[in-house]
């Protein structure tokens, strides 16, 4: 199973999102470090709308997502960008 698929599964199971997009941005980071070729799944962006975020601060939302995805980060996911929103909140995407 791919990193993207595992991220989607964990977030679906734990946050029941109304909207979820997991984007592999690894190709944007080729050459940033000697071992970063732009291939694989090292840099991911998560755009998510979930009722679970209602009433939470932006920091609390990020902490929740990071906690849920800690196994992926520990296994080698280098960067994780998170764009969380509660239903009805404006998004840039």
For residue 36, being part of any structural domain is answered with: yes
Greater model confidence, 76 or 52: 52
For residue 77, being part of any structural domain is answered with: yes
Query: What residues make up the domain containing 40?
Result: 3-85
Contacts from 32-38 at CB under 8 Å and sequence distance 24+? 36/78
For residue 39, being part of any structural domain is answered with: yes
Count of domains in the chain?
1
For residue 60, being part of any structural domain is answered with: yes
The two tokens of residue 51 are 């009722």
Confidence of residue 31 (pLDDT cuts 50, 70, 90): very low
For residue 92, being part of any structural domain is answered with: no
Q: Is the pLDDT assigned to residue 93 strictly greater than 50?
A: yes
Give me the CATH number covering residue 43.
3.30.300.90
Q: Is the pLDDT assigned to residue 30 strictly greater than 60?
A: no
Confidence of residue 88 (pLDDT cuts 50, 70, 90): very high
């Amino acid at each position: 199973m791919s990193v993207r698929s595992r991220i989607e599964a964990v977030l679906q199971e734990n946050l029941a999102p109304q909207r979820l997009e997991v984007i592999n941005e690894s190709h944007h980071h080729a050459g940033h470090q000697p071992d970063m070729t732009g291939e694989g799944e090292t840099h991911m962006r998560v755009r998510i709308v979930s009722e679970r975020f209602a009433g939470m601060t932006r920091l609390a939302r990020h902490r929740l997502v990071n906690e849920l995805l800690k196994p992926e980060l520990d296994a080698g996911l280098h960067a994780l960008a998170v764009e969380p929103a509660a239903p009805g909140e404006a998004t840039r995407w």
